Chain A
Amino acid sequence: MTAILRADGVSKAFGGVQALRDCTLEVEQGSITGLIGPNGSGKTTLFNTMTGYERVDAGDVWLGDRKITNLSPQRVFALGMGRTFQLTRIFPRLTVMENMLVAAQHAGSGRARNPLARAGGRADRRRAAELLEFAGIARHADALADTLSYGQRKLLELSYVLVAAPAIVLLDEPAGGVNPSLIHHLSDRIRELNAAGTTFLIVEHNMDFVMGLCAQVTVLDYGTVVASGPPQIIRTDPRVLDAYLGVTEEENEEPGEHPAGAPGGGPAGEPGQEPEEDHDVPGR
C-alpha cells in the first residue's frame, strides 16, 4: 500500500471562509479513489491546492515521495499529475487535434527542443489520434473544439490530459451534465486506463458512478475529511449519512448490505490523523 498522492494537514482560507481545515487524504497507487461531499465542502479547493492552482495556507502535498506543496500547475503536470476541471476547460479556437498537441509537446521527444518545429511530430500525432479513438471522438479531430458538444468536451479534456501519460489524474465531476450512455462510456474508459496503470482521484456527485467505480471513497464536509473507506462502508457511516448521503441512502438501501458491510460500524479507512467532529462548527 503506497500512496501516490497525499495531502497532509492541508488548510486553505479565502478571507473569512475556511475552505479546507487540516485536511488529510491519501490516494493509493493504482487505485480509483472517490472524493465526495456536499457543495462547498472543499473538494475543488482541495484539487486546486494539490495541483498548484491555489497556494495552501498550511500543510503539505506529496506526489510519491516528492513534496509538491505550492509548486506551479506546470511543474505539477510535469511531475506526472494531470487534472480536469468541473467547468470543462478546452481551447475552443484550436482544433481537437491541436488541443491534444498542446499537452503532447510536454511529453516531448528530443525534437521538442526546437520550438519552430512543426507542432506535433508523427509520434505525438499518432498517440493523440489513438487517444481520441479511445475516447470515441476521433472523427472530430480536425474540427474546432468549439463545435464539440458538452459531453464530447469532457472526453476531449480527459484525452488531452492523458496525452502526457500522467501517473495520476484528478477528475472534477467528469459525469456532471453528461448523458447516461456517455457516463457509461466514460466509466469504462476510466476502468481500462486504471487497469493499464493510471491512478484516478474523482470528485463526483453521481453516487452510482462513484460507488461503481471507486475502491476507496473519502468524504469531505466543511473542509475536513469526515470518513474514508470502501464504498459499502462509506454508505453506512453515520457521519457521512449525516453530512451528505442521507436521502440518497434511504432510496438506494439494499437489505443484505449492512451485515456484510461493516461489522463494527467503524470507519475502516479513517485516516489516522484526527477524526474530526467539528463539521458541525460552521466555518463561515
Chain B
Amino acid sequence: MTDRAWRPAGALAFLVVLAVFPQVFTNATVSTIAVDTLIFAAAAVAWNIFSGYTGYISLGHAVFFGAGAYTVGIAARAWHTNGDAVFVLLVPAAAVAGGLAVPLGLIALRVRRHTFVVITIAFFFIAQLTATNLSVTGGSSGILAPSPNWEAATFNDPFYYVALGLLVLVTAGSWLIRRSRFGLQLRAIRDDEDRAAGLGVRTMPVKLTAFVISAVVTGVAGGLWFFFIGQAIPQFAFDPLFDLSVVVMAFFGGLGTISGPVLGALVIEPAQQWLTLQYSNEYLSEILLGALFLLVIIGLPRGVIPTAAELVAKFRARRQAVPGAAAGDMAAGAAAGAADGDADGEEARAAREAAREAGR
C-alpha cells in the first residue's frame, strides 16, 4: 500500500480522534487547553497559507487576530448578543479582518523579505496603539465578552467543536490551494517572484488574495478566542507572542506543508499552556518557546514533517536496494538501471521524490 492511499485514511482517523476527544477527556483544564490548541492550529494553518506558500514571512498576523476579537466584542455589545448567537458574529469578524488586509497588503506587499517583515511588525504596533487609545475598543481596560450560561460540565464543548470545524475547513482549504493553479503561482512567487511575473503570473493580485484569505481565517480564530477567553485587552488581543507562536508552529512542523502547522500547534500550544499552569509563570514558556525556535532553525530548518518524510523514504530506498527482493522487482530494477546506466542516482532520485510526496 502506498503513502498516497494511507493519507486520507490517516487524516480521517485523526479527525475521529479529535471529534471524540472532549467526550473522553472531560476535565475542564484539559478541554480548555484543547480549545486553545485548536484555535492556534487554525491560525497557524492560515498563516502558512500566506507566509508558508509565498515565502513572505508576516509577523503582523496578530493585527487580524485582534481585529477579529474586537469585532466580536464590539458587535456583541452593540447588538446584545449572547449564547450560541455569538458564534454568528464570527462572520463580521472575518469580514473586518479581510477588509483590513486589503489596504495593509497593498502597502506591505510592495516590498519583500526583511522590509516586508519590518512593515508587518509596524502594523502590529499601530493596531495595538489604536486599540489602547480608542474609546470604542475600551482603551487599556479592553472589552468583555458575553458570558453564556451553558452547563458547567460541557461548557467548553461548543468552543471545541466550532474551533475544530474551523481547523478542518482551513486545512481543507490549505490542501485545495496547494494543489491548485493559485497555489502553484504562490509557490512560484516564493521561489522567484520576478521570474513568475515574467511567465504571466499576476503577482500582486495573487499575493494579496493569499494575504486576505489568511487574514480572514486569522480573524475568525481571534473572534473565537475572544469569546472563549472572555475578554480582550490591547496587549493580549494584539500579542507579539501570538505571531511568534504561530511562526514557530509552522516552522517546527514544516513551512509550506499542509500538516506541518497542525502538528506544530498540537505539540507547542499544549506544552506552553501546561508549563504556564504547572509553574504558574508565563515567562518560562516564553523563554522555552524562544529556545525551541532556535533549535528548530538550527537543527530542523525544514521542519519535522519534510525531514521525517525524507528519512522514511531513504530507509525504504535502502531496503528496496537490498538483494533478496522479489524477482520481479529485481528485473524491474535491472531494467531501470540499464536504461540509466546509473542505478544509484536513480535510486537517490526516487527517494527524494518519495520524500517530497510524503512531505505534502
Contacts and interface: CB of A to CB of B under 8 A. Distances in A.
Contacts of B181: 105, 112, 114-120
Contact of B182 (A83, A116, A143, A144): A116
Interface string A161-191: 1001000000000000000000000000000
Interface residues of A, number: 40
Contacts of B198: 51-53, 73-74, 76-77, 83
A73 B203 CA distance: 11
B180 A117 contact: yes
Given A115-B180, A119-B184, A102 B199 contact: yes
A141 B198 CA distance: 22
B182 A94 contact: no
Given A116-B176, A144-B352, A147-B349, A74 B201 contact: yes
Nearest to B349: A143
A52 B200 CA distance: 12
A98 interface: yes
Contacts of A103: 199-200
Interface in A17-65: 51-53
B183 A91 contact: no
Residue of B191, B202, B203 most packed against chain A (CB within 10 A): B191
A77 B352 contact: no
Contacts of B314: none
Contacts, number: 96
A116 B203 CA distance: 16
Given A93-B187, A93-B190, A119 B180 contact: yes
Contacts of A98: 184, 187
B4 interface: no
Contacts of B356: 95, 144
Interface in A67-113: 72-74, 76-78, 83, 85, 89-95, 98, 101-103, 105-106, 112
A160 B203 CA distance: 18
Nearest to B203: A74
Interface residues of B, number: 28
A101 B184 contact: yes
A73 B180 contact: no
Interface in B171-190: 176-177, 179-185, 187-188, 190
Interface string B182-214: 111101101110111111111100000000000
Given A74-B197, A91-B192, A105 B184 contact: yes
A142 interface: yes
A92 B31 CA distance: 43
B344 interface: no
B174 to A, nearest CB: 12
B104 to A, nearest CB: 22
Given A89-B195, A94-B191, A77 B200 contact: yes
Contacts of A161: 199
Contacts of B199: 74, 77, 102-103, 106, 160-161, 164
B353 interface: yes
Contacts of B176: 116
Contacts of B182: 115-116
Given A94-B187, A94-B191, A73 B179 contact: no
Contacts of A119: 179-181, 183-184
Residue of B179, B195, B356 most packed against chain A (CB within 10 A): B195
Nearest to B191: A91
A93 B200 CA distance: 19
A78 B187 CA distance: 20
Nearest to A73: B198
A251 B352 CA distance: 47
B197 A73 contact: yes
A140 B182 CA distance: 24
Given A53-B198, A91-B191, A92-B191, A102 B180 contact: no
Interface string B338-360: 00000000000100110010000
A284 B198 CA distance: 30
A78 B184 contact: no
A72 B200 contact: no
Contact of A73 (B187, B190, B194): B194
A154 to B, nearest CB: 14
A94 B184 contact: yes
A251 to B, nearest CB: 36
Given A116-B177, A143-B349, A102 B201 contact: yes
Given A77-B198, A143-B353, A93 B191 contact: yes
Interface string A132-143: 000000001011
A73 B194 CA distance: 8
Contacts of A142: 353
A78 B179 CA distance: 24
Contacts of A116: 176-177, 180-182
29 contacts: A52-B198, A53-B194, A74-B199, A74-B200, A74-B202, A77-B200, A89-B192, A89-B194, A90-B192, A91-B188, A94-B187, A98-B184, A102-B199, A102-B201, A103-B200, A105-B181, A105-B184, A106-B201, A112-B181, A114-B181, A115-B180, A115-B181, A116-B177, A116-B182, A117-B180, A118-B179, A119-B180, A161-B199, A164-B199
Given A83-B198, A102-B201, 13 more contacts: A52-B198, A78-B200, A90-B192, A93-B190, A102-B184, A102-B196, A106-B200, A115-B182, A116-B180, A118-B179, A144-B352, A147-B349, A164-B200
Interface of A: 51-53, 72-74, 76-78, 83, 85, 89-95, 98, 101-103, 105-106, 112, 114-120, 140, 142-144, 147, 160-161, 164
Give the top 3 A-B pairs by smallest Cβ distance, nearest first.
Answer: A106-B200, A91-B191, A73-B198
